[in-house]
Chain A
Amino acid sequence: MHKVAGLLVGLFALAAFAPVAEAHQVEYVSPHPVPHKYGGGFCYINVQHTHNYLPGDARMYRHAHGHYYFVGDPTPFGYDGPRYAYYGAHPVREAELRFGHPVFCYIKGPHYHWYQPPAQAHFQLSGGAYWYVGTFPQVYYDDRPRYAVINEAYASAVYTRPVVDVAVAPPIVAASISLGGPGWRAHAVVGGPPVHVVAPPPPPPGPPVQIGVGITVGGPVGVPAPAPPGHFHYDHGRHLGLHKHRHGGRPSRFILGPAPIKAPLLEHRRGHQPPLRSVRAPRPAPHRTAPAPRPAPPRAAPMPRAPARMPRLAPTPARGRNGDRGRRR
């Protein structure tokens, strides 16, 4: 009797722990990296498809209704298709359409995606990258602790990120940087080991233009830095070249430092949106601020009142004509 009972228990245990005969199939609804175990590289299939493997790093995906959508930067995985530069967090409309609810990319700083933002979305192309200039809904902040781990996933990746000229950021962002306005804080490009410059781009002489030089995460980089003086929080002075900026003198627009992988370059403070009234260009081109040599047209009569307001908006003490005028008054 005992033998029979033991046999039954053994058979039951064998059946319970027997491997499942049917292989596991995983549905993807976007292009995605292929795990190293399965050959590595990147899968370019841009419709719903099936593989017999799970994502290599779940931090780079959104998962809903049994489908995986890759929300990361495809560049480190050998992606060689068309790509578009973005800066900071933004909505991912394509994923939103697939899943039926808002999906956001939480990658800090400059990064690439294979898709262009839709025309109707609140994106602005500036400084060589798309910036999201719309308002983030509450769900963005609610999900941020969960999904911002994607930055940890990319921290060890060595690849060339896009170089974005922060000096020509959209005014709504730039004004907040220069004024320390509501809702935004500017951080330095910080974190990671000390770096050295490979090919620092020279400061452009004229109006800001996009500089097509890449940076390397975790390695030698040349990261563009905001031009407007003052009001920058540079992560407690861990930044190379920062002392020049803090102790007077005109800061270089390209401050050398590691890629923005540890702290956000721009952080949208919860519940705030910078008012449009305080918007101004972060670094107006000299030719725009210089006085026009020709006489003002008759309909520009109220113009002299405008400079009187400018010093309040502009934290930079202008030593040019505006400053002189202020003293005369």
Chain B
Amino acid sequence: MRTLFLVIALPLLVALPSCRKKQPVPPPASVHVPGTPHTDEVLTAFRNAGLTPDGFAAVKPIPAHATYCEHGKVNAIDTTLCEYRDDQALDKAVQEIKAGWARIDAHTGVVVRAKRTLLAVVDRERREPSGKTINQMLNVFSGL
């Protein structure tokens, strides 16, 4: 009986801490790539421009070739921000992202870079055919 209790209780105890609400923990400075706009800087710039980034969190596992990535939504449009250590890795990532759009038949897709930070925006469900929000994001991003 005692053994049975332990078998049931132990997994519950282990699982309990994960029930807490996820708090966005800022990544330690060491994970960011020096010399290129950091993801948090980009998000701050978006907010300052009147955009609404929402739900951004570090992507785990980190997508291929990237050093650090965050994914979330800006005005309800899927947005990914990644930092790269070298240009080769960044170029490979761009090709893979574009191939991914073809697979999912994305309505709109944009990928641009500022130094070695990549901004990838995809509108899968035609939320914004005019692309005005995307264009605003691009203008802000290119000014970093």
User: Does the CB pair A41–B108 fall under 8 Å?
Assistant: no
CB closest residue in chain A, given B106: A52
0/1 string, A33-58, CB within 8 A of B gives 1: 01000111111111111111000000
User: Does the CB pair B126–A38 fall under 8 Å?
Assistant: yes
Distance to closest chain B CB from A27 (angstroms): 9
A25 touches B (CB below 8 Å): yes
A324 touches B (CB below 8 Å): no
Bound together, the chains give a CA A48 to CA B110 distance in angstroms of 7
0/1 string, A280-304, CB within 8 A of B gives 1: 0000000000000000000000000
Given A39-B126, A43-B130, A44-B135 in contact, is the A49-B110 Cβ separation under 8 Å? yes
Given A39-B126, A46-B138 in contact, is the A52-B131 Cβ separation under 8 Å? no
Interface residues in A1-53 (C-beta closer than 8 Å to B): 22-25, 34, 38-52
B134 touches A (CB below 8 Å): yes
CB closest residue in chain A, given B122: A50
0/1 string, B114-144, CB within 8 A of A gives 1: 0000000000001001111011001000100
User: Does the CB pair B109–A50 fall under 8 Å?
Assistant: yes
Interface residues in B55-108 (C-beta closer than 8 Å to A): 98, 101-108
B112 touches A (CB below 8 Å): yes
Residue of A39, A46, A50 near B101 (CB, 8 A) is A50
Bound together, the chains give a CA A39 to CA B106 distance in angstroms of 15
Chain B residues, Cβ within 8 Å of A43 = 108, 129-131
Bound together, the chains give a CA A41 to CA B132 distance in angstroms of 12
User: Does the CB pair A25–B102 fall under 8 Å?
Assistant: yes
User: Does the CB pair A45–B102 fall under 8 Å?
Assistant: no
User: Does the CB pair B130–A51 fall under 8 Å?
Assistant: no
User: Does the CB pair B138–A45 fall under 8 Å?
Assistant: yes
Distance to closest chain A CB from B133 (angstroms): 9
Q: How many residues of A contact B (CB 8 A)?
A: 20
Bound together, the chains give a CA A45 to CA B108 distance in angstroms of 10
User: Does the CB pair B102–A46 fall under 8 Å?
Assistant: no
Chain B residues, Cβ within 8 Å of A39 = 126, 129
Given A50-B106, A50-B110, A51-B108 in contact, is the A42-B130 Cβ separation under 8 Å? yes
CB closest residue in chain B, given A79: B130
Distance to closest chain B CB from A5 (angstroms): 36
User: Does the CB pair A45–B129 fall under 8 Å?
Assistant: no
Bound together, the chains give a CA A52 to CA B101 distance in angstroms of 9
User: Does the CB pair A45–B126 fall under 8 Å?
Assistant: no
Bound together, the chains give a CA A23 to CA B103 distance in angstroms of 7
Bound together, the chains give a CA A232 to CA B4 distance in angstroms of 104
Bound together, the chains give a CA A226 to CA B102 distance in angstroms of 53
- A residues within 8 Å of B by Cβ? 22-25, 34, 38-52
**Pairs A–B under 8 Å by Cβ, sample size 22:** A22-B102, A23-B104, A25-B109, A34-B129, A34-B130, A38-B107, A40-B129, A41-B129, A42-B130, A43-B108, A43-B130, A43-B131, A44-B130, A44-B132, A45-B131, A45-B138, A46-B135, A49-B108, A49-B134, A50-B101, A51-B107, A52-B107
